Amino acid sequence: MKIAIIGTGNVGSALAKGWSNAGHDILLGVRDQQNFAGKKLLSMKNCTVHSIPEAVSLAEVILVSVPPKNILEVAPLLKNVEEKIIIDPTNSFPAPPSGYQNCFEAWSQTTNCQHIVKAFNNTGYQNMLQPDGLDTFVAGNSEMAKKVAQKLAGDLGFSNCYDFGVGDKAGLLEQLAICWINMAYFQGLSTDFGFNIVRRPASN
């Protein structure tokens, strides 16, 4: 699968590494191809660098991992994406994009994409590099896009990727991420933990 990574910071780089190891083609979309975060990713044999519009045009799936304040300036660069899949791993921390309730809503209203999913936002990039044993979640209105995100979560090594609901649940999923951030950084638990669904035996 051809996956464009827009935003090559910690999260984008971690996902790029995992998907590259799983055999996907990684297209880094950057503003300055000579100087960008995550340049070491180019050492992977199936990773190339492009302008953002070119990466988007070549990809089947587009992961956009940028700070909330930058969403409104990046969105116009995502052209002709109506039938592509956009994966949104961003969280409204410390605040959502101006004029929107959350990041998912901003992407949904500023692009013409019909297949946007919230995914890979509920844990830290450290866990994305080694997610074995952890669960993750996906939300969105496109069943096709959710299935693709669930497959990509499995490729990374997550134990399960649960369907969290349709697009109106994306904001709730962002709140789950804020819970993780609170425990990891403000309550001293560190980043070495994640979420799991534990099922109790059915009662008689």
For 32, 41, 135, the CA distances from 45, given in Å and listed in that order, are: 21, 9, 29
User: What are the pLDDT digits (tens) for 80-89?
Assistant: 999 999 999 9
Peptide bond into 94 cis (omega under 30): yes
User: What are the pLDDT digits (tens) for 10-65?
Assistant: 999 999 999 999 999 999 999 999 999 899 999 998 999 999 999 999 999 999 99
Q: What is the mean pLDDT of residues 144-172?
A: 98
Q: What is the mean pLDDT of the chain?
A: 96
pTM of the full structure: 0.95
Residue 161: band (very low, low, confident or very high) from pLDDT cuts 50, 70, 90: very high
Q: What is the mean pLDDT of residues 163-174?
A: 97
∠ CA 91-93-99 to the nearest 5 degrees? 85
Is residue 204's pLDDT more than 70? no
Is residue 203's pLDDT more than 80? no
User: What are the pLDDT digits (tens) for 94-145?
Assistant: 999 999 999 999 999 999 999 999 999 999 999 999 998 899 999 999 999 9
Question: Within 13 Å and on the Cβ side, how many CA atoms surround 61?
Answer: 25
